[in-house]
A and B are shown apart, each in its own frame.
Chain A
């Protein structure tokens, strides 16, 4: 079993829909990161969480430390949100990445 599991692996939605991507992990962590990667592009850090909830524009990230679970939400989704979203957990020595969720938003 992977240390970090994301779901769903692929998600297609219509513009305007509310999007949720989930991340579960099985190891102790000091922080959890949500990252965005566009096709052929670099990686952008969206959020770093160690507890609670953070909001940036239309993006919201939450984490439940007891349940070892985090969610990334996108409100009023737009085609430019189409990308791979990656959850990464930070332990003592390294980041461990989930496999990513490929999100496609159709106009």
Chain B
């Protein structure tokens, strides 16, 4: 059974750096073809893709946020970490981590999401 769970601060101040961790089970991110990603959703708004990381450590970022994002993996801990610098109130959103299938670029398993509020 595949499970994913996001964790991190629920409140961050403007200009701070956000660090979110996705802890997963039921698969290994060191297996060829496996990839994971982050997607966010501001309250009442649409989904927005942020980043992907592949089993071979290849990384992809949203071109709109690339300068602020970093995604890393720790296969020994079954974790993926997303950092986002210079947080702003418009970054207030629910952040989801998700698993991609071995073939195709879509998300077939999702975490429950974690709401991050940016406010002073």
Do they bind each other?
no
